[in-house]
Amino acid sequence: MSHPLTLDVPESLYQSLVRQAEESGQPPEVLAVQLLTTATQPEAEDPLEAFIGAIDSRGSDWADHHDAYLGGAVNDTMRR
């Protein structure tokens, strides 16, 4: 069963949709349905999610400062 849906979108969004539809050889309506389908699908379970928090990373700011930590580790390795 399908249902008609009318959307008012900004011109820039419409032009982007038309451009992508032309590149894929599909009508904009078909591409819009595909994009909406993808956006509304529940995310697949991450197989690594069970391991989140299993390792002590020696700090709680790792996500915010990972570049500095990785850079420091590389620097330490290069000095050896």
Residue 56 confidence (pLDDT): 76
Number of domains in the chain: 1
Q: What is the DSSP string of 22-40?
A: HHHTS-HHHHHHHHHHHHH
Asked whether residue 73 is domain-assigned, the answer is no
Asked whether residue 33 is domain-assigned, the answer is yes
Residue 58 confidence (pLDDT): 72
Asked whether residue 57 is domain-assigned, the answer is no
Asked whether residue 29 is domain-assigned, the answer is yes
Q: Which residue range(s) make up the domain with 33?
A: 11-40
Asked whether residue 48 is domain-assigned, the answer is no
Number of helices (H), then strands (E), in the chain: 3, 0
Single pTM value for the model: 0.53
C-beta of residue 30 within 8 angstroms of C-beta of residue 21: yes
- What would the pLDDT profile of 19-45 be if each residue is shown by its tens digit? 999 999 999 999 999 999 999 988 778
Residue in 35, 9, 8, 7 with CA at minimum distance from that of residue 21? 35
Compute the distance between CA of residue 71 and CA of residue 69 in angstroms, rounded to an integer. Answer: 5
